[in-house]
Structure 1
Amino acid sequence: MLLLGIDIGTSSVKVSVVDAVTQQTVASAQYPDIESPITALQPGWAEQSPDMWWEQVQQAIHKCNSTKKYNPQDIAAIGIAYQMHGLVLVDKDQNLLRDSIIWCDSRAVELGAQAFDKLGHDYCLSHLLNSPGNFTASKLAWVKQNEPAIYDRIDKIMLPGDYIAMKLTGEITTSISALSEGVFFDFKNNSISKAIIDHYGFSERLFPGVQPVFSNHGGVSASMAQQLGLKTGIPVAYKAGDQPNNALSLNVLSPGEVAATAGTSGVIYGVSDELTYDPQSRVNTFAHVNYTSQQKSLGVLLCINGTGSLYRWTKNLFGSSVSYQQMNEQAIKAPMGSDGLRILPFGNGAERMLNNQQVGVHFHYIDLNLHTPAHIFRAVQEGIACAFRYGVDIMRENGMSPNVIRAGRANLFLSDLFAQTFVNATGIPVELYNNDGSVGAALGAGIGSGVFASPKEAFNDAKPLQLIEPTATAAFEAVYQEWKELLNKQLKTK
């Protein structure tokens, strides 16, 4: 029996086919080979076309099928992971009404701040576990306020993964986890938040039916099955945001366990069984994939908007003639601390961990006679690692103190230098696993379709590839403290 996982990233779509018996990847494919565009019609805005995602999903599945390593007719269930918080709107005929306002878009920050004040900080934090910020609810409020003709035609609102599931099945569903990431869910009343609905003037009819994360979200339609070489009716049995899914794929399911990723954005994601929140809403709490009303499993998420995206930007400007691996090899040649070069890596929208300020990327202390591309490549990795340390300290303030962090050997964690710098900056060992989001989504489909009795069973055989322990925390602490002082000075100018 085979399982298909789809991971809808900001940069590209990846799919994997996994053997349910061995839990091994049979084939994988990514589309496109270059990073997908983000449309920024105004500073701080960020949009992508859901039809672009759908085209990429189809192309990735065809590309995977073309490997001939499996029979697509043997695929028994589909799982979907997706970039979180994006707003997708369709009319009664399931036609798109506009491009998606994606996760790093900052246009709704002020609307979220007004809702936070109007509803009351204590109420929002105790019931929603977050400030409304620039999450999906506030994005929808922006559409209502600024694009009323579009708003009036909305039949259903959804997240990116819901849209792809709809294209596959013709059905639209949501989950408690999805509602919570949009800040639509009231954890105390265990229901869609009436306070948010009433404050923004939304109708509950806009929301799809609520299903468990691990459940049947619809069967693949006959037309889509024929187009993609699949069996008609196989279920989409799992849908989750990319960070809860990354945690699932790393077997991070129990209180105190922590996952990290450094893709387009950088995330630390820890699991808690308490309705906890950060008083400043710098870290955010959502329902984890295994959340139920009886088992309150929560994901505490810290996000840095631009990690891999900064490294891509750096490559385009300073390393266009070399590969990422060659950039990493050059970075190792520069000394720790990059001979004084410091970089603040905050250029991808409002940063929640910095109280929704748009700080931007800043290069400090460039010496035109000393610094080379190698210094820049290393300083970028060190700056990102310092941002992770800053975020981990916020999580520590909120009672989460991990003894180890699990991460997939992917994206920036492919760099030995970055992985070691991350560990030295945070002081926390990292276990690296051979995982990725599309494989996690495939195994999630196995859980949702009953192939596995529980999430733990799906990942019982997962073993770390490598344990990285701190080697130079004292030496790097001086680098971090100087970096932090520069950040604090920059924050005071805002």
Structure 2
Amino acid sequence: MYLGLDLGTSGVKAMLIDGDQAVIGVGHAALDVSRPHPGWSEQDPLDWIRATREAVGALKATHGAALSAVKGIGLSGHMHGATLIDAADQVLRPCILWNDTRSHVEAAAMDADPRFRAITGNIVFPGFTAPKLAWVAKNEPDVFARVAKVLLPKDFLRLWLTGEYLSDMSDSAGTAWLDTGARRWSAELLEATGLSERQMPGLVEGADPAGTLRDQLAAEWGMASGVTVAGGAGDNAASACGMGTVAEGQAFVSLGTSGVLFAANASYLPKPESAVHAFCHALPNTWHQMGVILSATDALNWLSGITGKAAGELTGELGNDLKAPCSVTFLPYLSGERTPHNDAKIRGAFIGLGHESSREVLTQTVLEGVSFAIRDNLEALKSAGTHISRVTAIGGGSRSRYWLASIATALGLPVDIPADGDFGAAFGAARLGLIAATGADPLSVCTAPKTAETIEPVAALAGAYEEAYGRYRSLYPAIRGL
């Protein structure tokens, strides 16, 4: 048996699979996000431990015998979070999360230093880890002075699980400290942030062994001693391992809290000015590119909160047959935007509201706005040298057939729906645990699921969608000036 632990923004998911990669059981535990000031987003790392215990405890209650046979554990987690610990491994402050934009001034200053783009292959976004440390140094110097280690969220869990200070390449590529082409920390960039390599975790590949489960936890969960913990991956790379998106030409679109258009690459293809992320993949000698929007299902959930209707009810009111874009346009910049704008200050908008703008119209417009934001990502990836001929849809938003038809038509690409199953980050993490524990060939393990159905672009609406996308594109510079 193999266990995947996925630390998400809203909860921890524990997935148990067998040697044939069949899912045996799943446990969940919820997490909250603290937003003490506009643009801030934080979590208490100790709450991650509590939630992991709950999620694995739920598995033990329902699948205790299977859990006792676990030989490998893989980790996945939300990226970029600044988890700061002192010399005694005590947490110094709440973790500053991926969607926190307080450090936009520090990010801009780092990005103006040409070394960062040249070495990391990426823009320094406000959500990345390095500018958060610069913000802490400026605003909380007493905390900064006590930082013994900077850990990414899943790697704080690893410290609790194994006692090791280690991270993998895919997650570390999102810090703005990694030499992404060489797959190693950049002493030069760390020094520019007032840090050193001794404050960083050691680096491993995602499918490599990266510690052994503590005997105390093994006993608590009914496992044998010596369980291998894999290097793991950042959540998007872990999802790619779960989807089998590990070879050149494969791509997926993820409709989670944020939205991601992810393409696997056999070589390193940075183009920072496009605002495309060029990161290491979780498997050795592979990289990936991705465009990221900060509000995907988050935008629909926001509308759900405003209307008092569940997200599924809202999309259900639209039916399954795609409609022509309406006259209202939604810009989904509720938390700023990454690709392609790199703008932490921009905020969302409805343009063209009228008396006739019903709840259904607003729902349709929100889905279209996210679809057009993903189209922005496709155009950015094209400019960075990546060709995509089709995508596979994952994430909670992919349950809406209407939304998938909208995305297919906005992109002009077929969207594949995988066969029933859970192929996300927790599954990918479990696969990495299997590889690390057994030494199996990563490509033979990280295969793609069968396609249950393909949503084709609606040809009759291609022109209307192209016109609406042009209108969408024209609005960002207009509202930015405000």
- TM bucket by the smaller chain? over 0.9
Deviation at 1:166, TM superposition (A): 1.2
Aligned to 1:131: 123
Instruction: Give the Cα–Cα distance (whole angstroms) in 2 for the partners of residues 5 and 396 of structure 1.
Output: 33
1:59 aligns with 2:51: no
The 1:69–1:179 alpha-carbon spacing in structure 2 relative to 1, beyond 3 Å, is: closer
Which residue identity does 2:7 align to in structure 1? I
Out of 301, 314, 317, which is 2:306 matched to? 317
Query: Contact conserved, 2:14 with 2:56, CA < 8 A, in 1?
Result: yes
Which residue identity does 2:357 align to in structure 1? H
Out of 307, 312, 319, which is 1:332 matched to? 319
Instruction: Give the Cα–Cα distance (whole angstroms) in 2 for the partners of residues 349 and 52 of structure 1.
Output: 27
Answer with 228-237 or 152-161: which moved more. 228-237
Given the two structures, how large is their TM-score scaled by the length of structure 2?
0.93
Deviation at 1:325, TM superposition (A): 2.7
Out of 209, 226, 243, which is 1:233 matched to? 226
1:115 aligns with 2:110: yes
Aligned to 1:444: 432
Which residue identity does 2:463 align to in structure 1? A
Deviation at 1:187, TM superposition (A): 3.8
Aligned to 1:183: 176
Query: Contact conserved, 1:111 with 1:142, CA < 8 A, in 2?
Result: yes
Query: Contact conserved, 1:173 with 1:208, CA < 8 A, in 2?
Result: yes
Out of 373, 382, 386, which is 1:396 matched to? 382
Which residue identity does 2:71 align to in structure 1? A
Query: Contact conserved, 1:18 with 1:442, CA < 8 A, in 2?
Result: yes
Aligned to 2:453: 466
Aligned to 1:257: 250
Instruction: Give the Cα–Cα distance (whole angstroms) in 1 for the partners of residues 318 and 325 of structure 2.
Output: 9
Matched ranges for 1:196-215 at <5 A: 196-215=189-208
Aligned to 2:443: 456
Q: C-alpha deviations, 1:66-85, integer Å up to 9, x for none?
A: 22375321111111110011
Out of 402, 405, 408, which is 1:420 matched to? 405
The 1:75–1:188 alpha-carbon spacing in structure 2 relative to 1, beyond 3 Å, is: closer
Aligned residues between the structures: 476
Matched ranges for 1:351-362 at <5 A: 351-362=338-349
Instruction: Give the Cα–Cα distance (whole angstroms) in 1 for the partners of residues 320 and 265 of structure 2.
Output: 40
Q: C-alpha deviations, 1:101-127, integer Å up to 9, x for none?
A: 11111122221221222x32xx43332
Aligned to 1:106: 101
Secondary structure, counterpart of 1:268 in structure 2: strand
Deviation at 1:492, TM superposition (A): 3.6
Deviation at 1:378, TM superposition (A): 1.6
Percentage of identical aligned residues: 25
Which residue identity does 1:129 align to in structure 2? G
- Where do 4+ consecutive residues of structure 1 move more than 4 Å? none
Out of 286, 307, 317, which is 2:296 matched to? 307
Given the two structures, how large is their TM-score scaled by the length of structure 1?
0.91
Secondary structure, counterpart of 1:280 in structure 2: helix
The 1:287–1:188 alpha-carbon spacing in structure 2 relative to 1, beyond 3 Å, is: closer
Aligned to 2:281: 288
Query: Contact conserved, 2:39 with 2:101, CA < 8 A, in 1?
Result: yes
Q: C-alpha deviations, 1:188-217, integer Å up to 9, x for none?
A: 555321221221221221012222221222
Which residue identity does 2:258 align to in structure 1? S
The 1:336–1:69 alpha-carbon spacing in structure 2 relative to 1, beyond 3 Å, is: farther
Matched ranges for 1:149-168 at <5 A: 149-168=142-161
Deviation at 1:99, TM superposition (A): 0.6
Query: Contact conserved, 1:27 with 1:69, CA < 8 A, in 2?
Result: no
Instruction: Give the Cα–Cα distance (whole angstroms) in 2 for the partners of residues 191 and 222 of structure 1.
Output: 31
Secondary structure, counterpart of 1:213 in structure 2: coil
1:407 aligns with 2:405: no
Query: Contact conserved, 1:319 with 1:373, CA < 8 A, in 2?
Result: no
Instruction: Give the Cα–Cα distance (whole angstroms) in 2 for the partners of residues 461 and 485 of structure 1.
Output: 38
Which residue identity does 1:13 align to in structure 2? V
Instruction: Give the Cα–Cα distance (whole angstroms) in 2 for the partners of residues 212 and 333 of structure 1.
Output: 42
Q: C-alpha deviations, 1:474-493, integer Å up to 9, x for none?
A: 23222222222223322343
Q: C-alpha deviations, 1:374-405, integer Å up to 9, x for none?
A: 22222111111011111111111111120011
Structure 1, gaps ≥5 residues long: none
Instruction: Give the Cα–Cα distance (whole angstroms) in 2 for the partners of residues 188 and 428 of structure 1.
Output: 30
Which residue identity does 1:419 align to in structure 2? L
Answer with 353-362 or 3-12: which moved more. 353-362
Instruction: Give the Cα–Cα distance (whole angstroms) in 2 for the partners of residues 106 and 281 of structure 1.
Output: 20
Query: Contact conserved, 1:20 with 1:443, CA < 8 A, in 2?
Result: no
Which residue identity does 1:381 align to in structure 2? L
Aligned to 1:28: 26
Instruction: Give the Cα–Cα distance (whole angstroms) in 2 for the partners of residues 461 and 346 of structure 1.
Output: 32
Out of 377, 381, 395, which is 2:363 matched to? 377
Instruction: Give the Cα–Cα distance (whole angstroms) in 1 for the partners of residues 108 and 244 of structure 2.
Output: 35
Query: Contact conserved, 1:162 with 1:239, CA < 8 A, in 2?
Result: no
Q: C-alpha deviations, 1:20-42, integer Å up to 9, x for none?
A: 12x1111112222xxx4322222
The 1:76–1:279 alpha-carbon spacing in structure 2 relative to 1, beyond 3 Å, is: closer
The 1:311–1:253 alpha-carbon spacing in structure 2 relative to 1, beyond 3 Å, is: same
Deviation at 1:278, TM superposition (A): 2.3
1:482 aligns with 2:467: no
Deviation at 1:445, TM superposition (A): 0.8
Query: Contact conserved, 2:246 with 2:446, CA < 8 A, in 1?
Result: no
Deviation at 1:281, TM superposition (A): 4.8
Out of 167, 183, 188, which is 1:195 matched to? 188
Query: Contact conserved, 1:217 with 1:236, CA < 8 A, in 2?
Result: yes
Which residue identity does 1:64 align to in structure 2? L
Instruction: Give the Cα–Cα distance (whole angstroms) in 2 for the partners of residues 312 and 228 of structure 1.
Output: 35
Out of 350, 363, 366, which is 1:363 matched to? 350
Deviation at 1:469, TM superposition (A): 1.4
Answer with 82-91 or 427-436: which moved more. 427-436
Structure 2, gaps ≥5 residues long: none
